[in-house]
A and B are shown apart, each in its own frame.
Chain A
Amino acid sequence: MLKGKQSWVFGNRPVIEASATAVGPFEANGQLAADFDILHEDLWLGKDSYEKAHTLLLEEAVTTAIKKSGSTSDEMQFLLAGDLINQITPSSFAARTLGIPYFGLFGACSTSMEGLALGSFIINNDGAKKLVTGASSHNAAVEKQFRYPTEYGGQKPPTSQWTVTGAGAAVLSNSKNKTGKLVTTSATIGKVIDLGLADPFNMGGAMSPAAADTIIAHFKDLELDPCYYDLIVTGDLGRVGQETTYELLRKYGIPLERERFQDCGLLIYSDDQPVMSGGSGAGCSATVLYGHLLKQMQKGVFKKILVVATGALLSPLSFQQKETIPCIAHAVSIEISD
């Protein structure tokens, strides 16, 4: 149901039945290793190309999530997935293997929440009984496409971010039994915002206005108090972007408590890992939300969270042609049902 200008309220409260994550070696050494389901020691995942490894990550996350939800992939009506690679081939190839009717999404690093929002909308409006949504990224495959070769000895500036190798997937259902379960309650779809930043090594700075805009729109549309959520978590703004967003929000009259405003890109790695400004990539918000945050909610640490995944909608061509970076953010709120 539409509320306000750009938000949906999910009256039927789609249930997140289960979620699963698969991550690479670098993430397995990070802070959240214990919360991930499948940890890989090898960046290749035993495949002969990084793109194939990328596909496998998503396949593993999706099949594990389906298994954990106690159903089979035949029961899944739709798969909503996306990634950063050209023509989102890893997601499409995974969909080929999984054999689930498939929506390919592209929202750069915001894909995870785009998928969750759309999935919830479909379930909420009886478009499906069960579906699975996910997002993934693979460090080496993404770097190959967007930046320099991985072994190239170029110096990265401190504003740059490290693309997460990982996939996260969640199974949504229209189950009537909601007590104590995680449900999605609302979503806000962001608009594309470009404030003229063009440095691909400073995505956080470019994305923060989009994040701020979506968060402001969310509170306005739903007429909520900023204290409503226990935690507002952004996708992959990194150190630079998160500070900037925090200040933007305060300027626009949404005073948040500092510790209630977190970023997936900062949560995933430990301080001694050389990731500069934090993690990024479509897999970043997916793994942290579906691995770490949902577990925290089940433990009762948080009751209501708002996840705002941000995406920088650039391509290698566009930034070489000196275009600025347009950005987007989507927000989904997740609550524990009483």
Chain B
Amino acid sequence: MGKKKELSPVQERYQELQKKHELKKPILKNCLRAFLVGGLICTVGQAITYFYIYYFNFTEQTAGNPTVATLIFISMLLTGFGVYDHIGQYGGAGSAVPVTGFGNSVISAAIEHRTEGFVLGVGGNMFKLAGTVLLFGVFSAFVVALVRTLLSIWGVL
């Protein structure tokens, strides 16, 4: 919802009445489910990390990258099979916040716009949800790096 505009008395009275009947979001239940689903996804991630540490030449430091790639790949498969949106409906933030949510947002948009062709459809729309994350992720990383660099030039850090 946007910021509250000035409401006329009629609107105000109606919205009060409507509120009574509006089905409330079960916040506590959603939080619990998000905790469980998010935790489960992270446990799988941890298992994959150990897998890479143990069977390949990755240390705890370097195993992060292949783990992220694997998780995104798995979530892309699950999206393609039509499973991930059910997990998302159940888990809410628990399945959106981990990196799997990113894979899901990319692939779901790509599948959705497949019918408009590869260039204008898939290419043009693939990042319509994830694009925001990428833009602001890169931008905020840039700002943080800039601040850090300046601080170290001035000798604060």
Contacts and interface: CB of A to CB of B under 8 A. Distances in A.
B85 A196 contact: no
**A interface, by DSSP: helix, strand, loop or mixed?**
loop
A244 B14 CA distance: 9
Among A153, A195, A243: residue with most chain B CB under 10 A: A153
Contact of A158 (B8, B26, B93): B26
Contact of B92 (A150, A155, A239, A324): A155
A176 interface: no
Interface residues of A, number: 36
A322 interface: yes
Contact of A149 (B11, B95, B109): B109
B14 A195 contact: yes
Contacts of B10: 195
Contact of B93 (A148, A155, A208): A155
B49 interface: no
A50 B115 contact: yes
Contacts of B8: 196
Interface in A169-228: 195-199, 202, 205, 208-209
A70 interface: no
Interface in A215-271: 239-240, 243-244, 247-248
Interface string B55-93: 000000000000000000000000110101111110111
Interface in B86-126: 86-89, 91-93, 95-96, 101, 104-105, 107-109, 111-113, 115
A152 B109 contact: yes
A35 B90 CA distance: 32
B30 A196 contact: no
Contacts of A152: 85, 88, 104-105, 108-109, 129
B7 A149 contact: no
A156 B91 CA distance: 11
Contacts of A150: 85, 108, 111-112
Interface in A149-165: 149-159
B28 interface: no
Contact of B7 (A151, A158, A196, A274): A196
Contacts of A153: 79, 84-89, 91, 95-96, 101, 104, 108
A335 interface: no
11 contacts: A50-B115, A151-B104, A153-B89, A153-B108, A155-B30, A155-B91, A240-B23, A243-B21, A247-B21, A322-B3, A324-B5
Interface of B: 1-3, 5, 7-8, 10-11, 14-15, 17-18, 20-26, 30, 79-80, 82, 84-89, 91-93, 95-96, 101, 104-105, 107-109, 111-113, 115, 129
Interface of A: 48-51, 144, 148-159, 195-199, 202, 205, 208-209, 239-240, 243-244, 247-248, 274, 277, 322, 324
Given A149-B112, A244-B18, 14 more contacts: A149-B129, A150-B112, A151-B84, A153-B79, A153-B86, A153-B95, A158-B23, A159-B23, A198-B1, A239-B23, A240-B23, A247-B17, A247-B20, A324-B5
